[in-house]
A and B are shown apart, each in its own frame.
Chain A
Amino acid sequence: MAQVSLRKVVKRFDDTEAVRGIDLDIADKEFVVLVGPSGCGKSTTLRMIAGLEEISAGEIAVDGEVVNDVPPKDRDMAMVFQNYALYPHMTVYENMSFGLRLKHYPKDEIARRVQEAARILDITELLERKPRQLSGGQRQRVAMGRAIVRNPKVFLFDEPLSNLDAKLRVQMRTEIKRVHQKVRTTTVYVTHDQIEAMTLADRVVVMNRGKIEQIGAPNDLYHAPATRFVAGFIGSPAMNLLPCRLEQTGDALRVRLSDDIVLPVPPSRVGRYRGYAGRDGLTFGLRPEHLTECKPNGDAQLGYVDAVLEVTEPMGMETLVFFRVNGLDVCARVSPNAGAREGAPMRLAASLDNMHLIDDATGRVI
């Protein structure tokens, strides 16, 4: 049983607040990812959970017991560092068994656990090697093995894949997910890469400047972002965010992006948005995949945008096209055979069921 709770956790460094009041409940066996840009406080939060940083205010509890004053060595947690932090003078076997040897576990028990972990991570033939003889991916697996062997209450990952090249990163992502399926331990994972967050997490915690922007399952965050920050952070390529005006004509609402571009608000949303009609300070959000080439049997909830394409990026399975509205870049995803050409005009269809409207004053999605 390892349930982790954070209550109003604050971390102050001299006169700056790196973490400004975090409330979070992590259920047993859950895989939670803390994601956000550099400096948002996610690593600091992780290190406070580990005990490597002191908590300035608030409480962290594991299984109901407050652990603020418990030193790291007694918290029964395991951590995988960004730089692996393997002991260079020990073999892989000794690295992985270090924690158990400190607690004087019997030798055969240690051997059994190490072999088991090595099997899960496919590093059995590396056990007698030293870290400097291993590649980056192998070192990462040894670091994970060291964590698994201890069978702790919580796994903590601090940007473990940042030092690997792109291809290896994708491989290791799958490894980590596979390991989590076999070894169902509560996990807190920190990364700045939102793709890692989306693919690995049961729930994602988006952080920005020391505060939590939104907590939710990956799909929820993707389709129903609560704030402008989350809307722009999650998803690659990023959501298009354009300042707009909301115009009311009779019972219907329209979104005006520029002098030439006006999009109808779907009837389902009209009720929600009506109160904001005629106001300034609104931003329109639409993901690139919801802005695509016109299809022959279009349905009613579509708006149309006539664009002059500036840049096209053929990706193979789709083509990204870029154009400008009022000086701001807009991205759309079209099929590779839609005939997109740089410099040529193209009519794009916006599926407005998936639109978002953001109140600039609060930063929240309406």
Chain B
Amino acid sequence: MVDAALQAPSAAVARRRGGFRRFMQRRSTIAFLMALPLILLIALLVIYPAFYSLHLATLNKSMERFVGLGNFAFLFKRETFWMVVQQSCIFAITAVIFKALIGFIVAHFVHNIPSKGQRKWRGMLLVPWVIPPAMSCLAWLWLFDPSYSAFNWLLALVGVDPVSWTGEPNWARASVILVNVWIGAPFFMIMYLAALKSVPEQLYEAAAIDGANWWQRMWYVTLPMMRNIMAITALFSLIVTFANFDIVRILTAGGPIDRTHVFATWAFWVGIQGNDIPLGASVSLFMVPILTVAAVFILRDINRRAGEMS
């Protein structure tokens, strides 16, 4: 009797313990299963292709022979390639700087007006970002049209000669940057507005009482508090702008005389339209080191600042 009574509890305990362990395992396997589609998607369609492109870049044009770094050697000797590198970098950096500046200025103005009106203005100012870039590029293409440009029409009103917006190399570069800034500045504005709102009003009051005028308040309070968001936004935008395809493709198709080609459009031209996949892959790959350097720099800065703010 006593033995049975003694045995029963321990058996029950053993059963409970075994069941508990199973439950723990089940929990993490469930979690893993839930994340599996995500993992598969990224592994198959992002990570694998990225490495595959490394492999492709080492093949010859018909993809039968292994040529090692032959494609890269070929690219390095082409003047167009270096032009593309230079154009991509200038394009990305200039565009991001302008987007950040305009976004910052507009965010401040929106922040200044009473909150009831802010929603309306925010709504209007975000429109460029909502419209599919391909569609708005068509509008800009029409605005820049050599014969019928509405801008040139306005310039003619004040007696200025028509500008060849997409025909002349330097103007073409400026136009591409302009359109990219037009599309991207609202994103910066929204991000910066959110960041501005997160700065406690009392800090500004304390600074005012301490004797700071408006630009001192901006320099000592606003900018330091916003540094994190500014860095993250700049990083995202740099990467997205650097890899931009739509705008150049639609507006100038890389021309005139390849003066507006960026990595993405030139890779498309060479790889798909020129039927040389390995070469196209090599061009695309060249973005990676530049992007990684930029990412490392900015992430390091973010981590440092994140430690300070809490």
Contact = CB atoms under 8 A, between A and B. Distances in A.
B213 A73 contact: yes
Nearest to A83: B202
A146 B211 CA distance: 12
B308 A73 contact: no
A72 interface: yes
Contact of B210 (A71, A102, A130): A102
A98 B217 CA distance: 11
B225 A88 contact: yes
A72 B208 contact: yes
Contacts of A85: 200, 202-203, 205-206
Interface in B199-234: 200, 202-203, 205-213, 216, 220-221, 224-225
Given A73-B209, A102-B216, A89 B202 contact: no
B209 A98 contact: no
Nearest to A152: B209
Interface residues of A, number: 27
A32 interface: no
Contacts of B225: 88-89
A130 B212 contact: no
Nearest to A74: B211
Contacts of A156: 209
B205 A52 contact: yes
B200 A89 contact: no
B10 interface: no
A102 B217 CA distance: 10
B115 interface: no
Contacts of A98: 207, 210, 212, 220
A102 B205 contact: no
A72 B202 contact: no
Contacts of B206: 79, 81, 85-87, 146
A73 B213 CA distance: 7
Contacts of A81: 202, 205-206
A99 interface: yes
A89 B308 contact: yes
B303 interface: no
A79 to B, nearest CB: 5
A25 B310 CA distance: 42
B213 A87 contact: no
A341 interface: no
Contacts of A88: 225, 308-310
A99 B200 contact: no
A85 B201 CA distance: 9
A79 B208 CA distance: 10
A160 to B, nearest CB: 13
A123 to B, nearest CB: 18
**B interface: dominant SS:** helix
Contacts of B216: 102
Given A87-B220, A88-B308, A89-B225, A146 B202 contact: no
A87 B202 CA distance: 10
B205 A73 contact: no
A330 interface: no
Interface in A78-111: 78-79, 81, 83, 85-89, 98-99, 102-103
A119 interface: no
A244 B211 CA distance: 56
Contacts of B205: 50, 52, 72, 79, 81, 85
Contacts of A50: 205, 209
A73 B212 contact: yes
A81 B210 CA distance: 12
A235 B144 CA distance: 79
Contacts of B221: 87
Which of B211, B221, B308, B310 counts the most chain A CB atoms within 10 A? B211
Given A85-B200, A85-B202, A72 B220 contact: no
B209 A89 contact: no
Given A52-B205, A83-B202, A73 B210 contact: yes
Given A88-B309, A89-B308, A130-B308, A77 B209 contact: yes
A86 B220 CA distance: 12
A132 interface: yes
Interface string B179-206: 0000000000000000000001011011
B121 to A, nearest CB: 22
A150 B211 CA distance: 10
Contacts of A79: 205-206, 209
Contacts of B210: 73, 78, 98-99, 102, 146, 150
Interface of B: 200, 202-203, 205-213, 216, 220-221, 224-225, 308-310
What 6 A-B pairs have minimum CB-CB distances, sorted nearest first? A99-B210, A85-B206, A85-B202, A89-B224, A72-B208, A73-B211
Interface of A: 50-52, 71-75, 77-79, 81, 83, 85-89, 98-99, 102-103, 130, 132, 146, 150, 156
30 contacts: A50-B209, A51-B208, A51-B209, A52-B205, A52-B209, A71-B208, A72-B208, A73-B208, A73-B211, A73-B212, A77-B209, A78-B210, A79-B206, A79-B209, A81-B202, A83-B200, A83-B202, A85-B200, A85-B203, A85-B205, A85-B206, A86-B206, A87-B203, A87-B207, A87-B220, A88-B225, A89-B225, A98-B207, A102-B211, A102-B212
